[in-house]
Structure 1
Amino acid sequence: MNNTHLHLVVNHLPIIFPVAGLVLLIIGIFTKTEVSKRNAYFIFILGALASVAAMATGEGAEEGVENLPGVAERLIKTHEEAAEFFAGLSYVLGGISIAALFMSFKNYTFSKIMPFIIGVLGLIALFFAQKAGTTGGEIRHTEIRSDASVQNLDGKTSELGGDHDNN
């Protein structure tokens, strides 16, 4: 398994964990079960740890794809910036979740508001997770690029879609 493959294996986890955490957190809020909220906090912490793994493998993945045909440096740079911002939010979400977990076990009064704070932060993080995921996918998946152009093996750029002669 090379660095690029390893990055592809771990890079989905920082996105999946917050989705699962938000679902569990919403269940905990509506059912008023502290166990569900605590499990959600734990999942957000796992998401932050998964972000560490994704970021740690990103540089090696970049080196593995930067010279491949059809891969533009600007796409890698855009993804790198989006991923760094999302990772930062994920770290903050994980850190606040650690505090919320502690407050929940200690039964602090402030722990009653923490699910809502974490829920909002989780939604914000997911918005940026989508940006990081999409920009990462655009590196190799030409069909999802917003400019809909691809670089052919001969170095020429062509447009996807539109009118093409099929002769």
Structure 2
Amino acid sequence: MNDAHLHLVVNHFPIIGTIFGLGILIAGLVLKNNSVKNTAYIVLIVAAIFAFLSMYTGDGAEEMVEDMPNIGKQIIHEHEELAEKLALLLYATGIFSLASLYTSIKNHKFSKFTSYITLVLALGAAVLGSSVGTSGGEIRHTEIRDNTLNSAVENGNFQSESTTDKNEE
């Protein structure tokens, strides 16, 4: 297994784990159920661990694909910048999830406070994770890039029906 393959294996869980963790945490807060909240904290901690693994494997993946046709260093750089911000946010979410888990288990008076901080961080990570996932997908899936049609037209790779009809006559 090479670095690009490893990156593809681990890079989905920080985003998906954060979304699941956020949903579970919201359910735990609404139901006022510590067991459900504790489950959410564990999922968010695991998402933070996978964020580290994604960052660790990202450089190797970059080296393997940056010179491939239709990819380029700029799109990878944009993804990397967003991923670094997400990783920092997920590390903070993981740390507050640990604190929330500890305060919940100990029935500490700050339990509710740390829960809400964890909720806000997880919400921010879920929103940013969407952008990171999209920018990562755009690296190899050119069809989802916003400028695909514009690039095709500018490069002469796109023919409209009227152009095709004229060529056939």
* TM-score normalised by the chain length of structure 1: 0.89
Measure how far apart 1:143 and its partner are: 0.9
Measure how far apart 1:115 and its partner are: 2.2
Contact 1:3 1:57 in 2 (8 A): yes
| Ranges of 4+ aligned residues in structure 1 off by more than 3 Å | 149-152, 156-160, 164-167
Measure how far apart 1:90 and its partner are: 0.4
Query: Could you list the per-position Cα deviations for residues 127-151 of structure 1 after superposition, in whole angstroms to 9, with x for gaps in the alignment?
Result: 1111111111111111111111598
Measure how far apart 1:24 and its partner are: 1.0
Does residue 120 of structure 1 match 2:111? no
Measure how far apart 1:28 and its partner are: 0.7
Query: Structure 2: how far apart are the matches of 1:17 and 1:75?
Result: 25
What residue ranges of structure 1 are gaps of 5+ in the alignment?
none
Instruction: Compute the RMSD of aligned alpha carbons.
Output: 2.1
Does residue 148 of structure 1 match 2:123? no
Q: Which residue of 2 aligns with 1:163?
A: 160
Query: Could you list the per-position Cα deviations for residues 76-101 of structure 1 after superposition, in whole angstroms to 9, with x for gaps in the alignment?
Result: 10000000000000000000111111
The alignment partner of 1:124 has SS state of helix
* TM-score normalised by the chain length of structure 2: 0.88
Query: Structure 1: how far apart are the matches of 2:120 and 2:140?
Result: 32
The alignment partner of 1:68 has SS state of coil
In 2 relative to 1, CA 157–24 (structure 1 residues): closer, same or farther, beyond 3 Å? same
Measure how far apart 1:54 and its partner are: 0.4
Q: Which residue of 2 aligns with 1:103?
A: 103
What residue ranges of structure 2 are gaps of 5+ in the alignment?
none
